Amino acid sequence: MGAVAVALDHVRVSYQPLLNLHTGGVVAMEATVRVTARTADDLRRQVGRENPRARVDVALAATAIRAAAEYRTALPTHVNLAASTVDRPEELGPVLDAVREGGHRPRDVVVEIGAPFDGLARADFIHGLSLLRRAGLRVAFDDLGDAGTPLGLIIEAGPELLKLDAATVARLPDAAAQRAVAGSIAHLASRIGAQVVGIGVATEAQLTALRAAGGHLAQGDLLAPASRRPLAAATLSETMTALIEPESAVSPARDPGPLVTDFVHAATMLREDVTAHTAWSALADRPLANSVILTDEQRRPRAFLDRTRFLLSLSGPHGHALYTRRLARRLADPPFVVRADCTALGLLQMLAGVERVRRHDDIVVVDDHYAVLGVVQVGDVVRGLVDHQVRYATALNPLTRLPGSDEVGQDIERRLAAGETFAVGWLDVDGFKSVNDTGGFAAGNELIRALGRALTDVAATLPGVAVGHVGGDDFLIAAGLEQLGPLASTLLDTPFTAAGREVTLSLATLVCSAGAVRDYRDVSARLAPLKRHAKALPGTSWVMGRLDTDRVDVLRGSPLPAHPRPGRRRHVSGAR
């Protein structure tokens, strides 16, 4: 049976924009098809009995692509397919045909793959994904949250976008567990090079919680409801202004700061061989566009037209007569190009040596194949970096410049959600009160600064180690098991002094794994008795506990004598 056809006048296509949480600008639109009863009956007659759901799904996606093509917008178009449809690669042809016939650049079409994910033939599903990707289309995974999307499938597929479902977004403001899940997905996204999208955003509290959890894009009626035409000019204005206030002081997910992809706008692109008149028409049709990127057939940037300089050239004496029929690239500049993994700070450092007249040009962001992903505006990057630095600074301890325990707590939650086995350590100074009482507060402060510097150095040399200053002389550490030995040796073998006398340290560590411990609060409660045990040992000490046993290993310091106690007993082993 051939492809199923759907007439555009028998369906309703609605468009809802996706907005960047950093800039408030529209970066894409999702096209959703709703069929009339007459069309539904017609579809049922056409599909027959062979793969009926997949055929209808493909027909509606192809219809959405063709409908969006009529508006000739520069924004990428998102369409929906069920995972069970991608699982049948032989049915995907109409989608690829619609992309070609509609004149879309393949990379400007994003296929959102949603539930159901159960019962998939994994090899066929991956083959279907490869067909879409070989055609140049991008992929998003939809309905993350309650739909049971397999994490292993996400890692293997490597989608460009991960979309949190509306139910998860709705619970973010009030449920710490949901925020941990969203933060874990954001952490996974950063590892596979994807962006996190929250859908169904209905309140400002949800928007704030989404951004705090590491979300990049948002979609929902609060921002812009679905409409019959693409709404390319929507912005967050007042909502975004309230959102970027650093009121929650949430610790940043990555220390180097935001990436340039956090600020990407859709680029206005034309072929490098177009005339100046064509470029002028494109800018006239897109009043919000600051530039035009001239590209080759593979979407690689070849030249850059700044709106102001280009229009001034055309409006000068005889400019229109001289240039309109000539190639636009005669008036173009070389583009400023950065890769998607460039940080905002790295971009600003690059621009420091640029001639003043071009410091506010749009920056072209490219992928690993040097194809254009979009553009970023320098003003957005500066504001975003300032916001990041303010939030980061408010989370730092003024004495050690280390983050508080919240950042380590978030790292613990991410590790638990990812199913890792790791260790959490609690480090403090023995007899710190006597240091202050005998040497004064200045001596105590200097000791704490020295410990903070040592922890900072350890975290810098052992990637993946998270350290935080809880307060006073208490520090919190999260690390992989293979990092624990070098970390403890570095800290405990370093001599620390205060007011002319040597001080000793106590380190209590707990081996944690998903399922054995609930969350960060549970880890904290289980560390407390281990810390008391370490403090009771003479000299510098290190003890380790595990969740599956009452045994406490004394790894440094003299073991306590085992005194019989009524009730449950905790076994102690000697140093090794």
pLDDT at 244: 36
Distance CA 104, CA 111 (A): 13
Give me the helices (H) in 298-374, please. Answer: 307-315, 319-323, 344-351
pLDDT at 459: 86
- Angle at the Cα of 235 from the Cα atoms of 232 and 238, rounded to 5 degrees: 165
Instruction: Please check whether the domain covering 269-384 is classified as CATH 1.10.287.610.
Output: no
pLDDT digits (tens, 9 = 90+) for 133-170: 988 899 999 988 876 677 788 888 889 999 999 999 99
pLDDT at 49: 55
pLDDT at 348: 81
pLDDT at 574: 52
Question: Domain limits of the chain?
Answer: 8-234, 269-384, 397-573
Query: Could you tell me the CA-to-CA distances from 230 to 16, 32, 73, 90 in Å, in that order?
Result: 7, 11, 8, 31
DSSP 100-165: HHTT--GGGEEEEEES--TT--HHHHHHHHHHHHHTT-EEEEEEETTS---HHHHHHH--SEEEE-
Q: Which CATH class is domain 397-573?
A: alpha beta
pLDDT digits (tens, 9 = 90+) for 432-455: 988 888 889 899 999 999 999 999
pLDDT at 393: 72
Distance CA 39, CA 43 (A): 6
Q: Are 164 and 215 in contact (CB under 8 A)?
A: yes
Between 432-439 and 441-461, two packed helices, what is the crossing angle to 10 degrees? 130
**Cα dihedral: 258, 207, 372, 362 (round 10):** -70
Q: Going by C-beta distance under 8 Å and a sequence separation of 6 or more, which residues neighbour residue 248?
A: 208, 212
Scan for tokens 């002094």, then name that residue: 497
pLDDT at 559: 61
- Strands 541-546 and 505-513 come out as parallel
CATH code of domain 8-234: 3.20.20.450
Distance CA 283, CA 268 (A): 8
Q: How far apart are the first and last CA of the chain?
A: 73
Low-confidence ranges of the chain (pLDDT < 50): 1, 234-255, 564-572, 575-576
3-state class percentages of the chain: helix first, strand second, coil last, to nearest 5:
40, 25, 35
